């Protein structure tokens, strides 16, 4: 009976979370009402639904509302209904357009088809069988002290109880860390009928697979698929990610969302559809509500976007950017405001405005900055974990810049990765940990995960552009400067 409840609850949980995500994807014109397209959108729908439902739930928790099963289901129902109605209106408006959208893309050559399917099948098999490795994992240190502590408090007491969230005894275990992942954990336990901290690792692995699926779903309609399958396959097999999920940490979830955000905005720069910008904003809001690094990486992506839109060859995108910024702000503010008002939630890393008036402090620690930069480069060029992902992006991007192809887009990916790296370097620079060596060994491999996923997203996208026969920016500047507003065009997916 217990096993049946667990399996049914597990399935119901994913279907329920995916429902508002799917409705939003349809409302944004990103999915067609066809069985294969809907099935292909299942993973991304879960990821998007998680953010769409999770962020309002965080706002409610912050406001002191009891968020148990009834409140969670009510929020989920209201959002699914609202987004479903928006999707229905779009469906009625575009029925004829949708009927006319076909997937008449030419069948790729056999070689490409074989590589694509072989790599995808091997990766999917690896992820599916890999889940067995997480079914009995014990609760490790960070998980017990940070993530599952909050998850269990939210599960048993349905809110931010003072004994955990405002307890100065727990200031050392990062009460400022956002709670999207613990909120998901509490909801997961409610769905499966009780607490099983071991199984939570399986769910983290499922979420990781869904994030990779989301990247694949975003890339699929852009062109040749066999190229990016290898990029996603490289991301999927890293041992650092296995360790991170085994530890119950939140870096993988945050990094996956950062990768999805980077790619969504890259597609928006290339194609000009507002829906991709909104999706990117949603992913940033999600990442920022998983870990504080997600907010830092989100700022890096935002600054990169503003720079390329202001200085690059794209025009008329400010409205989309403003809307995206509003989505991010609305998603991020509830938790950040709560942290500001909580004396026990001290931040380990001082903000730039807290140290900028003390240049002597920064100068004294310039060695930390240099060591941080070296550590970042060391991790990003760790070929045993990431293959040649980062050097490959640098080479492909450099070639595209030299031959003047998609320079705005290339600049965005390079700037986003550079600024994200600088945000990590800043952490090394001002970290209060005196034992920098220990900090490097404990944190070094996982603190760069957001950069790795942003790089992976950029490389996957640029590879498709590099191999396509599109003329250079010089030859056809319209393609870059003023891409057609494609709405209400529906992507030919699946």
Partner 1 sequence: MSSPLITLAVLLIGLGAGVLLVASLLRGSSPAVHSWSLAAAIVAVVALGAYWPGKLRGSAQVLDGQRITYAATDERTAREKCLNDMGRPDLVQALAFAREQIPEDAEFAVTTNSPSVACLMINLFPRRPVAVADPARHWTVFDRTAPANVVEDATRQQRLPEAERRYLTHSPSFILVRPEPEAGP
Pure H helices in 349-448: 352-355, 359-364, 366-380, 383-386, 389-402, 407-430, 436-447
Non-local CB neighbours of 239 within 8 Å, separated by 6+ positions: 384, 385
- Our finding on whether 342 is near partner 1 (CB under 8 A) is no
Break the chain down into helix, strand, coil percent, rounded to 5: 75, 0, 25
Residue 304 vs 448, nearer CB to partner 1? 448
Contact pick of 50, 186, 466, 490 for partner 1 (by CB under 8 A): 466
- Our finding on whether 452 is near partner 1 (CB under 8 A) is no
CB atoms within 10 A of CB 319: 10
DSSP assigned state of 269: H
- Our finding on whether 133 is near partner 1 (CB under 8 A) is yes
Residue 274 vs 405, nearer CB to partner 1? 405
- Our finding on whether 348 is near partner 1 (CB under 8 A) is no
DSSP assigned state of 108: P
Give me the least distance between CB of 394 and partner 1, in Å please: 6
Q: Which of 258, 292, 282, 366 is nearest to 331 (CA)?
A: 282
Question: Strand locations in 27-122, DSSP E?
Answer: none
- Our finding on whether 309 is near partner 1 (CB under 8 A) is no
- Our finding on whether 449 is near partner 1 (CB under 8 A) is no
**For residue 326, how far is the Cα from the chain centroid?**
18
- Our finding on whether 396 is near partner 1 (CB under 8 A) is yes
Where in 419-448 is the site for partner 1 (CB under 8 A)?
Answer: none
Give me the least distance between CB of 370 and partner 1, in Å please: 8
CB atoms within 10 A of CB 6: 16
Q: Which of 17, 85, 1, 97 is nearest to 55 (CA)?
A: 17
Number of residues that bind partner 1 (CB under 8 A): 82
Residue 407 vs 493, nearer CB to partner 1? 407
Q: What is the largest CA-CA distance in the chain?
A: 67
- Our finding on whether 128 is near partner 1 (CB under 8 A) is no
Report how far residue 108's alpha carbon sits from residue 87's, in angstroms, rounded to the nearest whole number: 32
Contact pick of 239, 316, 352, 437 for partner 1 (by CB under 8 A): 239
Give me the least distance between CB of 278 and partner 1, in Å please: 30
Where in 155-194 is the site for partner 1 (CB under 8 A)?
Answer: 156-157, 161-164, 166-170, 173
- Our finding on whether 66 is near partner 1 (CB under 8 A) is no
- Our finding on whether 152 is near partner 1 (CB under 8 A) is yes
- Is the bond preceding residue 488 a cis peptide, omega within 30 degrees? yes
Give me the least distance between CB of 255 and partner 1, in Å please: 17
Report how far residue 34's alpha carbon sits from residue 37's, in angstroms, rounded to the nearest whole number: 5
Question: Which tokens hold the place of 332?
Answer: 């991020």
User: Which residue bears the tokens 């490790």?
Assistant: 140
Give me the least distance between CB of 249 and partner 1, in Å please: 14
- Our finding on whether 234 is near partner 1 (CB under 8 A) is yes
Segment lying near partner 1 (by CB under 8 A), choices 16-24, 130-138, 284-292, 328-336 = 130-138
- Our finding on whether 117 is near partner 1 (CB under 8 A) is no
Segment lying near partner 1 (by CB under 8 A), choices 9-17, 328-336, 388-396, 427-435 = 388-396
């Amino acid at each position: 009976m217990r096993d049946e409840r667990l399996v049914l609850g597990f399935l119901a949980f994913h279907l329920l979370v995916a429902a508002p995500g799917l409705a939003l994807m349809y409302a944004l014109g990103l999915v067609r009402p066809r069985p294969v397209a809907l099935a292909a959108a299942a993973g991304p729908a879960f990821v998007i639904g998680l953010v769409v439902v999770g962020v309002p739930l965080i706002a409610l928790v912050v406001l002191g509302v009891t968020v148990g099963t009834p409140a969670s289901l009510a929020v989920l129902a209201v959002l699914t209904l609202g987004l479903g109605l928006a999707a229905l209106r779009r469906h009625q408006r575009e029925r004829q357009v949708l009927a006319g959208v076909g997937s008449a893309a030419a069948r790729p050559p056999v070689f490409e088809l074989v590589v694509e399917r072989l790599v995808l099948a091997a990766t999917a098999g690896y992820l599916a069988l890999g889940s067995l490795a997480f079914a009995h994992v014990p609760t490790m240190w960070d998980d017990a002290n940070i993530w599952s502590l909050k998850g269990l408090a939210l599960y048993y007491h349905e809110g931010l109880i003072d004994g955990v969230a405002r307890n100065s005894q727990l200031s050392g275990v990062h009460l400022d860390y956002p709670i999207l992942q613990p909120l998901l954990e509490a909801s997961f336990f409610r769905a499966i009928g009780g607490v099983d901290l071991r199984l939570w690792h399986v769910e983290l692995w499922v979420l990781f697979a869904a994030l990779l699926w989301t990247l694949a779903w975003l890339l699929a309609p852009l062109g040749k698929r066999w190229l990016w399958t290898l990029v996603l396959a490289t991301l999927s097999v890293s041992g650092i990610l296995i360790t991170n999920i085994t530890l119950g940490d939140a870096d993988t979830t945050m990094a996956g969302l950062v990768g999805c955000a980077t790619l969504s905005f890259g597609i928006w720069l290339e194609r000009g559809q507002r829906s991709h910008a909104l999706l990117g904003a949603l992913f940033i809001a999600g990442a920022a509500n998983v870990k504080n690094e997600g907010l830092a990486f989100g700022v890096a992506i935002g600054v990169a976007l503003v720079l390329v839109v202001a200085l690059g060859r794209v025009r008329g995108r400010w409205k989309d950017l403003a809307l995206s910024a509003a989505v991010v702000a609305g998603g991020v503010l509830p938790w950040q405001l709560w942290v500001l008002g909580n004396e026990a939630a001290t931040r380990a890393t001082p903000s730039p405005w807290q140290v900028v008036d003390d240049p002597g402090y920064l100068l004294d620690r310039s060695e930390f900055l240099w060591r941080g930069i070296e550590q970042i480069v060391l991790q990003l060029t760790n070929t045993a974990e990431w293959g040649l992902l980062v050097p490959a992006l640098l080479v492909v991007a450099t070639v595209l810049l030299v031959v003047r192809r998609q320079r705005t887009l290339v600049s965005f990916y390079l700037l986003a990765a550079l600024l994200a790296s600088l945000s990590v370097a800043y952490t090394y620079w001002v970290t209060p940990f005196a034992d920098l060596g220990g900090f490097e060994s404990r944190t070094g491999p996982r603190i760069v995960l957001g950069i790795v996923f942003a790089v992976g997203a950029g490389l996957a996208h640029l590879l498709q552009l590099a191999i396509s026969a599109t003329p250079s920016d010089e030859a056809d500047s319209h393609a870059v400067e003023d891409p057609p507003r494609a709405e209400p065009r529906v992507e030919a997916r699946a």
